Chains A and B, each alone.
Chain A
Amino acid sequence: MPSALDCRGLEKRYGPTIALAGVDLKVEEGELVGLLGPNGAGKSTLVKIACGLVRASGGAATVQDAPAGSREARRRIGYLAELFRFPGWYSADELLELHQRLSGSTGGATERDELLDLVELTDARTRRVEQMSKGMQQRLGLAQALVGAPPLLLLDEPTSALDPVGRRTVRTLLEELRSRGTSVLLNSHLLSEVELVCDRVAILLHGRLVAEGSPSELARARGVEVETEEGTHVFEGASREDAPRLVAELVAAGRRVYGVRVLTSTLEDTYLEAVGGETS
């Protein structure tokens, strides 16, 4: 089974600026991968290469073995851009119909109904885009990306304009898509969101992949904190399995143990460590 997305040594230069400096990244079938990194790290460039909006300067990207940007590859993707607009005069239903025709979807009205229901826009079916709030437009954008049930979804900051309820809707939607076997590459600044829904996380910095793994792998053990009558002491590098032994040793040494806490780094800690506090 070919990977939904396979990037090998992906490079992109804009004149003297290097946006991507040889990125290897795979998104397997049914996998939800989060792409993290500060502004200018190359996240959007990677997503744009994957959907054929930008041409790579080096390396290769394939969508289910079809070269990224080719007609075959574009048949297999759904894309929601970070900054997008739809013509204001289209109604939600008309817009989805336009994209059904462009993508060759034969889903008809049934598919449109399902998609609008999925993003909770059923009541806004005939409402024009220009009469929708930013959040509604963002959800319509998601529905548009899902037209034709593409096996790979490329989402660039899909929740940036959503309120907490809207974000939860998107999270539920992503989980639903995963259960259907859809692969998703999610580019987001919201670490908590990525941590909650993604199977794997990749962190980009200066166009390079600096960390990759599941959220639990990245949120690794940081030590064990023990509170005694002498104060709090942190045993760095110790894991949960080391805790009973540490307590036993301290008690044997005549100390009184009042509390024990296993310290783990959050994804946020790992992220900040990986990017060195960089913001842009």
Chain B
Amino acid sequence: MIAVYGLREALRRKVFVVVLLLTLGFLGLYWLANHYVFRDVQNIAPPAGIDPRPFAGAFLFGLAMFATLFLGVVLAIFLTLGVVRGDAERGLLQPLVVRPVGRSTLLVARWLGAVAVCAPYVGGVYAAAMVITGLTGHWWPDRIVVPGLELAAGVAIVAALSLLGSVFLTATANGIAVFMIFGAGLVAGLLGSIGHALNSHTLEHASKVAAWAIPFEALYQDGLRQITADTTGITGFLLQLGPFGGAYTGGPLLRFWALAYLGLIGLVAVAGFARKDL
């Protein structure tokens, strides 16, 4: 019931409309980019060893994956940034909390409500971008389903982080904090790319630690790797540099860690909420 309440709130809020409009704009521009890139890609002579069509397709689609992650994160943050403290300050939370529904149930249900909006959204944008690239450039990712699921999972983690922040921070402070964490993930990914290009294991290791500390980034990197999982040679090497962060295989351990991470965040959020005076 609370999840439906959260879902209705999410769909009614203007942020959802704004994100939808931004998404339509993005997909339109993305189609244009694909159109021109693949029109010209046949006429360019790339350096030896680089296969231009997979390179262009994977790079463009990687870019779309980042944009999808970013838009999903924006949506997740704006739907959850004020769930506890923000709603309590506005007097929206108290009538619900005094009902015989546990605070933990309330929190989990609000997270599920946000995920019920964000995950289909991310899946939809991911699929639309893939279809645009596939139909325009006749290039399809090596793995289709897993990268989309990993992007959605990454956004679900950001939603959980934002919910956790909402227990302790005001809505504005929480929004800023979670966007900064997202930015930190982006920087970690870029540092990893630099480390990969320079063959600096230290930098790559630091990037990996940072990405795993905020596993939505590691999931994004894994998804990026999955779309060119079977691409080898110089093309494969260059694609691992990835747009906005490198492409690294996380493997099953990453997915297990992401689940455990969600559980940990949930526990801390529930414990914090249970002790909070409203």
A interface, CB within 8 angstroms of B: 48, 51-55, 71-72, 74-75, 77, 79, 81, 83-87, 89, 98-99, 101-104, 141, 144
For B91, what are the chain A residues with a Cβ–Cβ distance below 8 Å?
Answer: 81, 83-85
Asked whether B8 is an interface residue with its Cβ less than 8 Å from the other chain, the reply is yes
Residue in A closest to B277 when the chains form the complex, CB atoms: A54
A77 neighbours in B (Cβ, 8 Å) = 98
* A residues less than 8 Å from B96 (CB atoms): 102
Q: Which residues of A contact B29 (CB under 8 A)?
A: none
User: Contact at A102–B9, with CB atoms within 8 Å?
Assistant: no
3 tightest A-B contacts by CB? A102-B99, A84-B91, A54-B277
In-complex Cβ contact of A53 among B5, B100, B278 (8 A) = B278
- With A53-B277, A54-B278, A74-B98 known, 4 other A-B pairs at CB within 8 A are A79-B98, A81-B95, A84-B95, A102-B100
Q: Which residues of A contact B102 (CB under 8 A)?
A: 71
The answer to whether A53 touches B97, judged by C-beta atoms less than 8 angstroms apart, is yes
CA distance A190 to B144 in the complex (A): 66
Counting residue pairs across A and B whose Cβ atoms lie within 8 Å, the total is 62
A residues within 8 A CB of B277? 48, 53-55
Closest to A154 in B: B98
Interface residues on B, range: 20 to 34
Contact A144 B95 (CB under 8 A): yes
Distance to closest chain A CB from B26 (angstroms): 28
Min CB distance, B109 to chain A, in Å? 11
Residue from the set B12, B91, B95, B98 with the largest chain A CB neighbour count within 10 Å = B98
Closest B residue to A83 by beta carbon equals: B91
- When chains A and B are docked, how far (Å) is the Cα of A238 from the Cα of B253? 87
Does chain A have a CB within 8 A of B1?
A: yes
Do B101 and A85 have beta carbons less than 8 Å apart?
Answer: no
Task: Check if B92 sits within 8 Å of A86, measured CB to CB.
Answer: yes
- Set of chain A residues within 8 Å of B1, measured between Cβ atoms: 98, 101-102
Contacts of B5 in A (CB 8 A): 87, 98
**Chain B 1-33 against A: per-residue CB contact (8 Å), 1 yes, 0 no?**
110010011001000000000000000000000
Minimum CB–CB distance from B278 to chain A (whole Å) comes to: 4
Residues of B within 8 A of A83 (CB): 91
